[in-house]
């Protein structure tokens, strides 16, 4: 067993760290206040070739694995970019895995290089207001009319849709009533197509944090999708997006570990320097022990994340580990961010020290792309053999 990052993984971390140093925490605080997408960061990552890290090299990427992507995203998060930085590039890293796996040669040639090079931005449209976590209940309809599909319906929480040129869309091509009971997921199809704003209304959601990476309600009113933009077979879309789900969970876990680690570093630094009652506050065990606990939890979460990534890259089953890593990392990251605010006392609540921003952003991996409850239900059922509860 070797727990060291490979020389290649180390050099990825060093190079990404030095790129991220051009975007200090003041940059991310300003973006959080003005809510403007971090275009400069996005383009810098694209120009340096990082956006195509996991895209096959035949299509303009570097063809590396989820392990390398996890190290990279952790490094971005840990720089202070946190979820603001990671979410701005997240879809480039893992989003088009279904295209790489199930697209035609023509689709791969057409769709993958622009994402690898950062020449286009895309969003990912799955969640719907009436379906929630029950993806089998998706209602947005794509109806075939000759050589195209016409889409009507609604999505919610779709990130980056304000700036996206493209959408990876999961929509229903067979009505639920026309499918056998228990097979509702079979009627969903996957598309990667232009986000035509004359047919899709994009309405921003006012939210708690990560203000520079928008999330939106989408209203589809006759969006036309040419047949050549459907990925794989009609009705197999749910299976195709499952292909990208474990990598997505692993990357979010890595990001949560990175946010937790910078929060812990800031808290420990403040605890060493801040003097109250004539001694550094960090001399009190009441301050030390929670920070030490944060370190223990973040180390465990990082190991589980790397194990899940290793299993994935070696073609092994990784569903339980990917879900568990996302769960543990989000909880450990959250506790570290909360503790960083508390360690800073009143200053933890001010924007000057950045930790309040970390706390708002670390809520995201606890909720999305799948909740804590659904992860626990999945592990209870698939690992422990308990009856399915949802």
Ligand X SMILES: Cc1cc2nc3c(=O)[nH]c(=O)nc-3n(C[C@H](O)[C@H](O)[C@H](O)COP(=O)(O)OP(=O)(O)OC[C@H]3O[C@@H](n4cnc5c(N)ncnc54)[C@H](O)[C@@H]3O)c2cc1C
- Looking at 67-75, 117-125, 249-257, 264-272, which segment touches ligand X (CB under 6 A)? 117-125
Report in angstroms how near the CB of residue 200 gets to ligand X at its nearest. Answer: 14
Residue 140 token pair: 């947005």
Q: How far apart are CA 44 and CA 19, in angstroms?
A: 8
Q: Which stretch binds ligand X (CB under 6 A): 118-126, 194-202, 275-283, 301-309?
A: 118-126
Q: Which residue has the tokens 């077979």?
A: 233
- Does 30 bind ligand X (CB under 6 A)? Our answer is no
Please, what is the minimum distance in Å from the beta carbon of residue 247 to ligand X? 15
127 binds ligand X (CB under 6 A): yes
Name residues whose C-beta falls within 8 Å of residue 92's C-beta, 6 or more positions apart in sequence. Answer: 46, 51, 52, 115, 116, 118, 122
- C-alpha of 150 from chain center: 28
Distance in Å from the first CA to the final CA of the chain? 37
In the complex, least distance from residue 68 CB atom to ligand X, rounded to whole angstroms: 23
**Choice between 157 and 191, CB closer to ligand X:** 157
Q: What is the spatial distance between Cα 256 and Cα 326, in angstroms, rounded to a whole number?
A: 8
Cα separation of 285 and 291, whole Å? 10
What span, in angstroms and rounded, lies between the C-alpha atoms of 142 and 190?
10
Structural contact between residues 329 and 280, judged by C-beta atoms closer than 8 angstroms: no
Residue by residue, DSSP assigns 164-208 as -SEEEEEEESS-GGGS-TT-GGGGEEEEEEE--TTTEEEEEPP-S
Pick the piece of the chain touching ligand X (CB under 6 A) from 18-26, 53-61, 346-354, 360-368: 360-368
Q: How far is the CB of 158 from ligand X (least distance, A)?
A: 5
Q: Does 390 bind ligand X (CB under 6 A)?
A: yes
User: Minimum distance between the CB of residue 369 and ligand X, rounded to whole angstroms?
Assistant: 4
Contacts of 208 (CB under 8 A, 6+ apart): 360, 363
One symbol per residue from 201 to 240: x for binding ligand X (CB under 6 A), - otherwise; what is it? --------------x-------------------------
Q: Shortest Cβ distance from residue 224 to ligand X (Å)?
A: 21
Q: Which is nearer to ligand X, 23 or 157 (CB)?
A: 157
Q: Position of tokens 């120009």?
A: 47
Q: Which residue has the CB atom at the shortest distance from ligand X?
A: 132
- Contact map string, positions 361 to 380, toward ligand X, x by CB under 6 A: ---x--xxxxx-xx--x---
Distance between CA 225 and CA 229 in Å, rounded?
A: 7
CB nearer to ligand X: pick between 221 and 373: 373
Structure tokens of 5? Answer: 């990052």
Name which of 176, 165, 329, 308 is nearest 245 in CA terms.
Answer: 308
Residues 150 to 179 in contact with ligand X, rule: CB under 6 A: 157-159
With beta carbons less than 8 A apart as the criterion, state whether 153 and 170 touch.
no
Residue 91 or 304 with smaller CB distance to ligand X: 91
Q: Which of 62/163 has CB closer to ligand X?
A: 163
CB of 376 to ligand X, least distance (A): 8
Out of 132, 222, 226, 345, name the contact with ligand X by CB under 6 A.
Answer: 132
Binding residues for ligand X, per CB under 6 A? 123-127, 132-133, 157-159, 215, 364, 367-371, 373-374, 377, 390
């Amino acid at each position: 067993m070797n727990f060291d990052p490979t020389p290649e993984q180390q050099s990825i971390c060093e190079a990404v760290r030095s790129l991220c140093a051009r975007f200090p925490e003041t940059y991310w605080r300003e973006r959080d206040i003005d809510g403007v997408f971090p275009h400069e960061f996005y383009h810098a990552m694209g120009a340096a070739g990082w956006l195509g890290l996991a895209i096959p090299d035949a299509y303009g990427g570097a063809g590396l694995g989820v392990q390398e992507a996890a190290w990279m995203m952790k490094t971005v998060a840990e720089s202070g970019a946190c979820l603001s930085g990671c979410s701005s590039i997240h879809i480039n890293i893992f989003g088009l895995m279904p295209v790489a796996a199930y697209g035609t040669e023509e689709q791969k040639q057409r769709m993958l290089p622009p994402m690898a090079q950062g020449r286009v931005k895309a969003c990912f449209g799955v969640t719907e207001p009436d379906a929630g976590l029950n993806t089998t209940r998706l209602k947005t309809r794509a109806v075939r009319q000759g050589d195209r599909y016409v889409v009507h319906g609604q999505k919610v929480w779709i990130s980056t849709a304000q700036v996206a040129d493209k959408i990876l869309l999961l929509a229903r091509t067979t009505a639920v009533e026309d499918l056998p009971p228990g097979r509702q997921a079979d009627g969903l199809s996957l598309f990667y197509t232009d986000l035509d704003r004359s047919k899709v209304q994009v309405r921003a959601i006012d939210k708690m944090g990560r203000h520079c990476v928008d999330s939106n309600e989408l209203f589809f009113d006759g969006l036309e999708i040419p047949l050549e933009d459907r990925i794989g077979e009609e009705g197999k879309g749910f299976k195709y997006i499952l292909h990208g789900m474990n990598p997505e969970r692993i990357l979010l876990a890595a990001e949560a570990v990175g946010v937790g680690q910078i929060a812990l570093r800031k808290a420990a630094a403040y605890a060493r320097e801040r003097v109250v009652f004539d001694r550094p506050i960090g001399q009190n065990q009441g301050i030390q022990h929670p920070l030490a606990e944060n370190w223990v939890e973040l180390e465990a979460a990082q190991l589980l994340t790397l194990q899940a990534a290793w299993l994935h890259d070696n073609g092994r089953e990784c569903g339980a580990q990917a879900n568990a890593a996302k769960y543990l990392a989000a909880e450990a990251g959250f506790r570290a961010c909360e503790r960083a605010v508390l360690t800073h006392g009143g200053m933890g609540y001010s924007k000057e020290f950045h930790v309040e921003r970390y706390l708002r952003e670390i809520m995201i991996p606890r909720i999305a792309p799948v909740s804590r409850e659904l992860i626990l239900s999945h592990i209870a059922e698939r690992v422990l053999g308990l009856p399915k509860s949802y």
